[in-house]
Amino acid sequence: MQPTMMRYELTLTSLFRRAGELYAGTEIVSRNPDKSIDRKTYADFDRRARQLASALRRAGMNKGDRVATLCWNHHAHLEAYFGIPIAAGVLHTLNLRLHPDEIAFIATHARDRFIIVDSVLWPLFEKVRAKAHFEKVIVVRSADQPLPGGAVDYEAFIATGDPGDPLPALSEDDALGVCYTSGTTGKPKGVCYSHRAIALHSLAAGLADTLGVSRRDTVLPVVPMFHANAWGLPFACVMVGAKIVLPGPHLGAADLLDLFERERVTMAAGVPTIWLGILQALDAEPARYALTREMRMVVGGAAAPESMIRGFDKHGLRVVHAWGMTETAPLGTVSNLGPDADAWSDDERYAQRAKQGIASPFIELRAMSDRGPVPRDGTTPGELEVRGAWVAASYVEPCDEGADKWTDDGWFRTGDVVTLDASGCVKITDRTKDLIKSGGEWISSVDVENLIIGHPAVKEAAVIAVPHPKWDERPLAAVVVKEGATVTAEALRAFVAAKLAKYQVPDAFVFIDAIPKTSTGKFQKSELRERFKNHVW
Amino acid sequence: MQPTMMRYELTLTSLFRRAGELYAGTEIVSRNPDKSIDRKTYADFDRRARQLASALRRAGMNKGDRVATLCWNHHAHLEAYFGIPIAAGVLHTLNLRLHPDEIAFIATHARDRFIIVDSVLWPLFEKVRAKAHFEKVIVVRSADQPLPGGAVDYEAFIATGDPGDPLPALSEDDALGVCYTSGTTGKPKGVCYSHRAIALHSLAAGLADTLGVSRRDTVLPVVPMFHANAWGLPFACVMVGAKIVLPGPHLGAADLLDLFERERVTMAAGVPTIWLGILQALDAEPARYALTREMRMVVGGAAAPESMIRGFDKHGLRVVHAWGMTETAPLGTVSNLGPDADAWSDDERYAQRAKQGIASPFIELRAMSDRGPVPRDGTTPGELEVRGAWVAASYVEPCDEGADKWTDDGWFRTGDVVTLDASGCVKITDRTKDLIKSGGEWISSVDVENLIIGHPAVKEAAVIAVPHPKWDERPLAAVVVKEGATVTAEALRAFVAAKLAKYQVPDAFVFIDAIPKTSTGKFQKSELRERFKNHVW
C-alpha cells in the first residue's frame, strides 16, 4: 500500500505566505542607528519582502545565486531573510565582527553576487570591497547618511520590484541560505541550509517543550542575525506571527532593557556575556525597569553559569538554556524542567537548568569516548556527536579540512565535551580543545570558570591549560574583577577549593582587564593560551 | 550552491527511539474493561512495542503489510500504533462502531493480514471474521476472559519477539497507517498516511500555538484511537513524552471525570457530544470533582456551541476548538486567541473561540464559491478547500468515487461550508449537504442549532432542510429536551427569533427522543431528512 498524501514542499515560501495572510497587523519594531524607533507591520513586511524578491529577480539574480548581507538586526535584514530565499536566491549573512580580510575571503568563497549593507557599516564594507567582488551593492541608509558612490539605495531598489510578481515554485531541497563558522583555527567553513531544514527547524523552535515561540510572544533576538541565523528566531517568529523587536546596532544593557520594557518583550535570546551585563544592570537598579514577568531569556553560544540563572530568577526573569552550532542550524537541545522536577529541591532544579537540556525531536545525540558511547551517568565525559533533520553533512566546497568532523557512520563531531545524565540531559563541560589534561586526569575548564564567576567580586573568568613540567598541563584562571570590587588570588582559591577536587583547583589566579572574545562573543582561549604559555609556576 | 544538510528521514522510528531514551519513567495509564487501572511506563512501552515489532516480523509480516486493530483506547493499542509501523507494517485502525459488514468490507479492501482485537469485542469480531480473511488473530485479553479458538494471546504473541531486534531502516515516504472515512454516503474510502505526514503532524500538534502538547501534560484522548488516529495525539504525546491516560471502553461522563481527577489530566480531546455530557455532569455537581485548573478540552469532529465554551469556563476548564478530517490527518485549524483579543469584550472573545481557528503552518486553506475564492469578510460562505503537508491527495485504490473531492489544481474539497474572517479564522457554518436553500437564500443549519442549544431546556438540536412547495426548502428543528425540563415550540421560536433573520427561523420545532448519530458521534442528518421528508408545513 502506498501513502496517498500530497507532495507538499516544506519551503520558507509556505511560511511567508501564511504569515502575510494571518498576522498582517502584528508589529515589527526596529531600533535605528540614531536610536529612534521604526515601526512596521507584518503587512508591510509581506509587501516589502515581495518587492525585494521581485527587484532581485529583475536585477538578474538567478536561482541559487548568493545575496550577502552585512547588517545589524533590523526590519530590512528581516526582509532580506525572506525576500532573498522566496525569490530562489541564497541568503548569505556576513559576520561584521570578523576582520575585513576574512569577510572578503568568505564572500569570495561563497561567490556572493549582490550585497545588502548598512550605511553605518560602510567604513568596514569599503575594506571588504577592496578584496571581494560584488556586482551590486545595496545600501540600507540611516536617515542622515548620504548614498555612497557605486551603491544603490535599498528603498529605491525595492521600489523597482512589484509585490504582485508571482513567487517562484521551490523544492524543499533548494538552498535557502549559507552561514560560515567563525572557528578560531583554520579557514572559515560554510554550511548551506535547505528550505526543508529551516522549515523543520522552525517547527522545532515553536514546540511548547523547546523555545515555545508563539504569536502571543514579543521576541527580541539580541543574538545577531549574522550568527547562525539569529538561532532561527526570525524564521520561527514569522511562522507563528510573533511580534519582533530588533535592536539595531545598540546592544548595550541599558538600550536592551529599555526595549524590553517599552515593547513588553516576552522572550529574548543571546550569549551569556550579553546577559551578564544585563544582570549587573538589573542588580544595580532593581526597581528601574518594569519587565514582563516570566520573560524568557534564551541563552546559548556558551554555557550559562548557574549563578546567572539564579541571579535572573531574583528579578522574575527565566533563563532558558539551549545548545546548538552553526552546523545544527542551530537548535540542538533546550533545557526545560520536566514534571519530575516539581518534587526536587531548588538546588536540584538549578543544577538541571544549568545543563543544556535534551535533544529536540528529530535530533539525535551521543557522547563518545575512545571506548565508544559513554554511559548516561552524568559524570563520564565524551565528545558530543549529533545527527538529525537540520544538521550539516559537510561544508560548502571547496573545503580542505572538515571531513574529520564527521564520523564514518555519519554523525557530526561537535568538539564539545559533555556528560549525559540518566534523563538524557546534556551538560557541556568543555570544548575538546579547552580540556585540561593534568597527570592523566581531565579537568573541565567550564566547570571551574562557572564556580569562579559565582564569587561576588568576579565579572568574568576563563580557565586555560598551561604547560607544566610535571603534570603535562595545569589550570590557570584569568580573572576580571568587577568595577570597584577587590579580591585576592588566595580568596578565590579558597572560594573554589571548597567545591572542587584538589587537582581541579587552578594553580594560578591572574587578574586581567578583559577576557579576549571571538566575533560571536565567546571566550577566545587560544589567545589566552598564547599569552600565558610561558607562565612560570 | 547545494545544501550541505544531512538526509534525515522523518519517521515514527526516530520519535519512538527518542521517547524510549528520554522519557523512560513517564506513565501510560489505561482503564481496563473491568474498570481496574493498568499502569505502565514509557520504558515498558518501548520494550513492548519493540517486542510486538519483532514478533510481527518473525510471524511473517513484510514491509507494507497491513495489521488491523479492533480495539478501545489502551496501552496495547498504543503499542500497536508504534510497534506495527516501526516494523515497517501499516497500522489499520478499524472502527468498531461500524456495522460488521462494513468493517469486513474495509478490512478486505485494505487486505489486512493480521488483526489485534480486544477480547471484549470478540462478539463483534466474530461477525466481521465471517466475511473477511485474517491470517492471524491476536487477542488482547481482559483478566477474566478465555482465549477464543483460533486466536493467539497478545501477551504470548509479543513474548515471541525480542526487544533487542534491530528496527528496519525506513524512508519517510513509506506507509505508516491507513484510516477509512465513515461517510454517510458511498463506500468507505481509505487514506494512507506516510511516516513523513505523521512526523510533521506531530510537530504541528506540539506547537505552542496549536495544541501545545508538552511533556508537562497529562493527555486523555477520549476520541477513539479508531477515529483519525485519535487526532494524532498518540503520536504527538510520545514525541514530547506526555503522560498518557487511556479510558478503555468506559466513555461515560462519570468515568471520564473520575480519570480526569485521579490522574490530574491537563488535556483531553473529543467530540462535542462527549463534552456536553460532561458539562451536564459538572453543572449537576459543581463541587464533586477537583480538576486541573485551566485543563484544555480539545473539541473537534463537529462545531462546539458557544454556550458549551461558556459553560466550561464556569468550571475553570478551557475548550480549545479545532477542525480536521481523516483526509487531513487530521489537524487543520486550531482556535487560540491572539494577543489582539486581550482588548476585546468577553462576547467578542467567545465569538472568536466558537470559530475553528487558523490554519496550522504547512496547511493552506481557501473558501470557494461558484465565483472563486470568497472574501475574508466573516459572512460570505464558501466550501473549505485545503492542501498541505499532511493532506490526502487521493483515496486508496481501488476507489470508484472520490476523484471529484480534489480540484483540478490539487486542493482537497472538504465538503464543509465556512466563512473566513479578516484574521483568517475559519468558522464552519455547515456541511455542503446540510445547507438549507430557502427561496434563493442559504441558511446555515449549524448556526441555528447552536442558538437552540443555548436554551436551558434543550439537550440537543439538529436543524435540517425539508422540501417546501414555495421556498424549495425550509428549516425544521428536531429538538431533544433535557430530562425533567419542558419547553414549547413557541418558546423556542421566540428564543431564536430574537437573534436570527426572519427567513432563518425554523418553520417547525419538533421534539424527538434523540438525534441519530454516526459512528463518530456526529449528527446523522441524512436519517432525519429521510424521517421528515414528507413533513406537512
- Write out pLDDT tens, residues A69-111: 999 999 999 999 999 999 999 999 999 988 899 999 999 999 9
Q: Which of B181, B218, B326, B520 is catalytic?
A: B181
pLDDT at A66 over 80: yes
Q: Which residues span the domain enclosing A345?
A: 252-430
A contacts of B64 (beta carbons < 8 Å) = 1
Residue A476 lies in a domain: yes
**Using the beta-carbon criterion (under 8 Å), do B6 and A387 form an inter-chain contact?**
yes
Q: What is the pLDDT of residues A337-363, one digit of tens each?
A: 999 999 999 999 999 999 999 999 999
**A203: contact with B, CB 8 A cutoff:** yes
> Is B245 at the interface with chain A, CB within 8 A?
no
Residues A116, A137: Cα–Cα separation, whole Å = 6
Mean per-residue pLDDT, A114-123: 97
pLDDT in tens, A132-151: 999 999 999 998 789 999 99
Q: Is B40 a catalytic residue?
A: no
B287/B179 same-domain check: no
Region A437-464: mean pLDDT is 89
B194 and chain A in contact, CB less than 8 A: yes
Count Cβ–Cβ pairs < 8 Å, chain A vs chain B: 201
Is A7 an 8 Å CB contact of chain B? yes
Q: Establish if B200 touches chain A: CB-CB under 8 angstroms.
A: yes
- The verdict on residue A207 lying in a domain is no
pLDDT at A244: 98
CATH number at residue A474: 3.30.300.30
B26 lies in a domain? no
Compute the distance between CA of residue B234 and CA of residue B19 in angstroms, rounded to an integer. 12
pLDDT of residue B92: 98
Task: Classify residue B216: in a domain, yes or no.
Answer: no
Confidence check: pLDDT of A503 > 70 = yes
Contact B192 A241 (CB under 8 A): no
Which of B400, B430, B460 terminates a domain? The answer is B430
Q: Is residue A309 part of a domain?
A: yes
In this complex, do B5 and A362 lie within 8 Å of one another by their Cβ atoms? no
Domain identity same for B311 and B426 = yes
Domain shared by A95 and A153, yes or no? yes
Known active-site residue B437: yes
Question: In what helix (H) or strand (E) does residue B346 lie, and over which residues does it extend?
Answer: helix B346-353
Asked about B442 being catalytic, the answer comes back as yes
CATH number (domain holding residue B298): 3.40.50.12780
Mean of pLDDT values over A242-262? 97
A43 with A188, same domain: the answer is yes
| Chain A residues lying within 8 Å of B92, measured CB to CB | none
Per the domain annotation, does A225 fall within a domain? no
- State how many domains chain A has: 3
Q: Work out the pLDDT band at A518, boundaries 50, 70, 90.
A: confident
- Starting at the edge strand found earlier in the chain, the sheet holding A66-70 runs A152-153, A136-140, A112-118, A66-70, A90-93, A175-181, A189-194
What is the average pLDDT across A278-297?
A: 95
Q: How far lies A473's CA from each of A264, A429, A435, A512, B308, in Å?
A: 49, 17, 10, 21, 70
Greater confidence, A180 or B144? A180
Look at B389 and A4 and tell me if their CB atoms are within 8 Å.
Answer: no
> Is A361 domain-assigned?
yes
Across the interface, whether the CB atoms of B362 and A66 are under 8 A apart is answered no
| Same domain for B414 and B474 | no
Chain B: nearest CA to A129, how far in angstroms?
22
Q: Please say whether the beta carbons of A210 and A334 come within 8 A.
A: yes
- Contact in structure between A211 and A298 (CB atoms under 8 Å): yes
Residue A23's closest chain B neighbor by CA? B423
3-class secondary structure, B529: helix
Is the same domain home to A442 and A422?
A: no
Residues of chain B with pLDDT under 50: none
In a domain, A198, yes or no: no
Q: Do A416 and A465 fall within a single domain?
A: no
Same-domain check for residues A188 and A292: no
Question: Do residue B392 and residue A338 have CB atoms under 8 angstroms apart?
Answer: no
Same domain? For A399 and A453 the reply is: no
What local confidence, expressed as pLDDT, does residue B184 receive? 55
**Domain co-membership, B285 together with B396:** yes
C-alpha cell at B44: 515498558
B193 and A5 in contact by Cβ < 8 A? yes
Whether residue B8 and residue A391 make contact (CB cut-off 8 A), yes or no, is yes
Omega within 30 of 0 (cis) for the link into B330? yes
pLDDT beyond 70 at A366: yes
Q: Are the beta carbons of B17 and B239 closer than 8 angstroms? A: no
What is the pLDDT averaged over residues A388-408? 92
ipTM: 0.91
Q: Which residue of B has its CA nearest to A88?
A: B1
Assess whether B333 carries a catalytic annotation: no
- Identify whether the C-beta of residue B266 lies closer than 8 Å to the C-beta of residue B295: yes
Q: Which of B437, B482, B517, B522 is catalytic?
A: B437
What is the reported pLDDT for A438? 85
Mean pLDDT of A265-291: 94
Task: List the single range of A54-63, A193-202, B362-371, B432-441 with lowest mean pLDDT.
Answer: B432-441
Q: Which helix (H) or strand (E) holds A43?
A: helix A42-58
Question: Is 60 exceeded by the pLDDT of residue A184?
Answer: no
Among candidate residues A388, A408, A430, the one where a domain is terminated: A430
Q: Is A170 on the interface with B (CB under 8 A)?
A: no
Q: Which of residues A393, A409, A430 is at a domain's end?
A: A430
Q: Is A438 on the interface with B (CB under 8 A)?
A: no
Contact A6 B391 (CB under 8 A): yes
The pLDDT-based confidence of A415 (bands split at 50, 70, 90) is very high
B350 plus B387 within the same structural domain: yes
Q: CB-based contact (8 Å) between B233 and chain A?
A: no
- For the annotated catalytic residues of A, the residue numbers are 181, 327, 437, 442
- Residues B51 and B185 placed together within one structural domain of the fold: yes
